[in-house]
Amino acid sequence: MSESADTRPEGAALHAPLARLLRPLVRLLVARGLTFPALTDLLRELYVNVAEHDFALPGKEQTDSRVSLLTGIHRKEVRRLRGAGAPVSAVPAVVSRTSRIIARWIADPAFTDPQGQPLPLPRTAEAGAPSFEALVAGVTRDLRPRAVLDEWLDRGLAFTDAQDRIVLAEAAYVPRGDGGAEPQLYYFGRNLHDHIAASVANILGDTPRFLERAVHYDGLSKELAAQLEARAREIAMAALQQANREAHAACATDPGGPHRWNFGLYVYAEAAPPARPADGR
């Protein structure tokens, strides 16, 4: 006999969406050798950390007993784990530097053509003229532009054309799937975090705070799915470039502060199995 909606365990409604959400993540974990015991250790740390910091009562010290009550983790384990856990917001230096240079190349009118596309850049040029050296120097003076260029050529983020100009490659927009390189894994964590965080804020808040929508069609032919995927990629890239140009220009006069903003898009298509009836038969 099935349980009614009123008698199901609290949180049971989350089981099905969580299973769907976690399945691709579990596939990645298995593929990369992160075992179930290792994952449970990480989850235990996260449960304690979230309960400690996100569910503290105003004006009251968060106790081991309350964290234990919130998480179901024994107080001895709570005491051991409080304050543990790896930093979740650290940005690798190579990622921060590279993203800032690319953002400028595709947003600053000095380095784009009239259509807003990144210009092929000579390595050096007269003062005031666009060049790869000027592009890098405008973002960081900690590294020589030649060192940055060598790194980008090696990573496939840029290439040289017949005139020996530096051309921004498509790989600069989307990190390569090269087995889990640092930049790719950083954006994997950052982008999925922000997408999930926006959805969670909308669920837990009184009213939806963030835009979080998708256009989806099922029952398509392979050809139409591929066609829509390609067209969606074009639309998405145009939107990202426009948002980047406006944000880059606005930052020039912004006094700065502790806030951050993320505008993300994704496109996905697959051969999906037929949906099962609600009764599971």
Q: What is the pLDDT averaged over residues 94-110?
A: 84
Tokens standing for residue 177: 């799937």
Q: What is the pLDDT of residues 7-18, one digit of tens each?
A: 455 678 888 999
- Interatomic CA distance for residues 62 and 83, integer angstroms: 12
Q: What is the pLDDT of residues 167-212, one digit of tens each?
A: 998 767 665 555 556 677 888 888 999 999 999 999 999 888 899 9
Residues 6 or more apart in contact with residue 84 via CB below 8 angstroms: 45, 48, 49
Tokens standing for residue 111: 């380095």
User: Which of 246, 268, 264 minimizes the C-alpha distance to 199?
Assistant: 264
The mean-pLDDT minimum among 60-74, 103-117, 171-185, 214-228 falls in 171-185
- Interatomic CA distance for residues 52 and 68, integer angstroms: 10
- Interatomic CA distance for residues 94 and 181, integer angstroms: 11
Q: What is the pLDDT averaged over residues 239-266?
A: 92
Q: What is the pLDDT of residues 148-160, one digit of tens each?
A: 999 899 888 899 9
pTM, 2 dp: 0.72
Percent of the chain's residues with pLDDT above 90: 51
Beta-strand pair 166-168/158-160: antiparallel
At residue 5 the predicted structure's pLDDT band, cuts being 50, 70 and 90, is very low
What's the confidence (pLDDT) of residue 175? 56
257, pLDDT greater than 70? yes
**DSSP H/E element including 152:** helix 145-155
213, pLDDT greater than 80? yes
Q: For residue 42, is it left (φ>0), alpha (ψ between -120 and 50) or beta? A: alpha
Other C-beta atoms closer than 10 Å to the C-beta of 74 total: 11
Residues 6 or more apart in contact with residue 123 via CB below 8 angstroms: 131, 132, 133, 145, 149, 164, 166
More confident residue, 243 or 140: 243
- Interatomic CA distance for residues 154 and 19, integer angstroms: 39
Encode 75-92: b = buried (16+ Cβ within 10 Å), e = exposed. eebbeebbeeeeeeeeee
| CA separation, residue 252 to residues 2, 97, 107, 248, 256 (Å) | 60, 18, 12, 7, 10
Q: Is 157 exposed, middle or buried (0-12, 13-18, 19+ CB in 10 A)?
A: buried
